[in-house]
Chains A and B, each alone.
Chain A
Amino acid sequence: MFIIRDAIKNYPIILLKYIRNFKIVMWIFTFPVLCLFSFMFLLSCDPLVTTFEDVEDAVMYKAASITEPDAIPPEDIDEIVVMTWNIRFGAARIPWYIDSCGDRVLLTKKEVMTGLEGLAEKIKQVNPDILLLQEVDAESKRTVYVDEVQWLLDHTDMNYGAFASTHQIQFIPSDGMGRIDQGNAILSRWKISKAERIQLPLRGDQSALTQYFWTRRNILKVKIDIPTSLPLDFYGVNIHAAAFSTDDTKRQQIDMFKEILHELDIDGAIYVAGGDLNEIPPTSDSTNFCDEDRCPEDADDFCRDGSDFYDETDWLNDFYDDSSIYPALPLSEYLENNSPHFTHSVVTTGHDWNRKLDYLFTNLEWITGTTVTHQDAFDLSDHAPVSATLNLLIDHIP
Chain B
Amino acid sequence: MKTGIGKIIVCLLLLPLSMRGNNNWSSGTATILPKGRWEMGLFQPLRIGQTERIEWSIHPILSFQIPNISVKVAHPRFNGWEFATRHSMIYPTPLLRRLRLKGFGISTLTEMDVGGIISNDPTISQIPHMISIKNEALMTKKIGVKTLLTGKGGISFAIKNGMLDSRTTIDLPIVFPRLGVYYNGYAVNLGADLFQQLTKKLQFLSDVDMILLPGADEDFTFEHKGLFIWNKHSDFRILVGYKLVYGEYPFGTQWLLLPLFDLEWGRSK
Binding site for B on A (CB under 8 A): 25-26, 29-30, 32-34, 37, 40-41, 43-46, 98-99, 103-106, 108, 139, 141, 144-145, 170-179, 205-207, 209-210, 213-214, 243-244, 246, 304-306
Contacts and interface: CB of A to CB of B under 8 A. Distances in A.
A327 to B, nearest CB: 28
Contact of B257 (A30, A34, A45, A106): A45
B111 A176 contact: no
B258 A175 contact: no
A25 B65 CA distance: 11
Contact of B256 (A45, A98, A174): A45
B65 A174 contact: no
B166 to A, nearest CB: 9
A207 B110 CA distance: 9
A141 B250 contact: yes
Contact of A33 (B95, B114, B251, B257): B95
Interface string B68-110: 0000000000000000000000000011001111110100111
B109 A244 contact: yes
B258 A40 contact: yes
A33 B99 contact: yes
A171 B171 contact: yes
B109 A173 contact: no
Interface in B246-269: 250-252, 254, 256-259
B109 A176 contact: no
Contacts of B100: 176
B263 to A, nearest CB: 15
Interface in B221-269: 250-252, 254, 256-259
Contacts of A173: 103, 114-117
A104 B123 contact: yes
25 contacts: A29-B61, A30-B95, A33-B65, A33-B95, A37-B175, A40-B174, A103-B121, A103-B122, A105-B121, A106-B124, A108-B167, A144-B250, A173-B103, A174-B105, A174-B112, A174-B115, A175-B103, A175-B113, A175-B120, A176-B119, A176-B167, A176-B168, A178-B119, A244-B110, A305-B108
A189 B44 CA distance: 57
B118 interface: yes
A108 B117 contact: no
Nearest to A95: B122
Contacts of A304: 108-109
B172 interface: yes
B103 A174 contact: yes
B172 A176 contact: no
Contact of B259 (A43, A98, A145, A177): A43
B109 A210 contact: no
Given A32-B61, A33-B95, A103-B121, A305 B110 contact: yes
B120 A43 contact: no
Contacts, number: 128
Interface residues of B, number: 45
Given A34-B115, A43-B259, A175-B121, 19 more contacts: A30-B65, A30-B99, A33-B62, A45-B257, A104-B121, A104-B122, A144-B167, A145-B250, A174-B113, A175-B103, A176-B117, A176-B120, A178-B119, A210-B111, A243-B109, A244-B109, A244-B110, A246-B110, A305-B108
Contact of B112 (A34, A139, A213): A213
Which of A25, A40, A171 gathers the greatest number of chain B CB atoms within 10 Å?
A: A40
A306 B252 CA distance: 36
Q: In the A-B complex, list the 10 residue pairs whose CB atoms are closest, starting with the nearest.
A: A176-B119, A244-B109, A175-B116, A29-B64, A105-B121, A105-B119, A305-B109, A45-B257, A106-B167, A145-B251
Nearest to A27: B98
Nearest to B244: A45
Q: Is the interface of A mostly helix, strand, loop or mixed?
A: loop
Contacts of A46: 254, 256
Nearest to A139: B251
B164 to A, nearest CB: 14
Interface in B110-147: 110-124
A305 to B, nearest CB: 4
A182 B224 CA distance: 32
A244 B112 CA distance: 12
A175 B113 CA distance: 7
Contacts of B121: 103-106, 175-176
A34 B119 contact: no
B66 to A, nearest CB: 9
Contacts of B252: 139, 145
B262 to A, nearest CB: 12
A10 B64 CA distance: 24
A106 B110 contact: no
A166 to B, nearest CB: 15
A147 B25 CA distance: 47
Which of A99, A105, A176 gathers the greatest number of chain B CB atoms within 10 Å?
A: A176
Contacts of A207: 111
A25 B94 CA distance: 13
Contacts of B170: 178
Interface in B181-212: none
Given A43-B259, A139-B251, A246-B110, A176 B118 contact: yes
Contacts of A43: 258-259
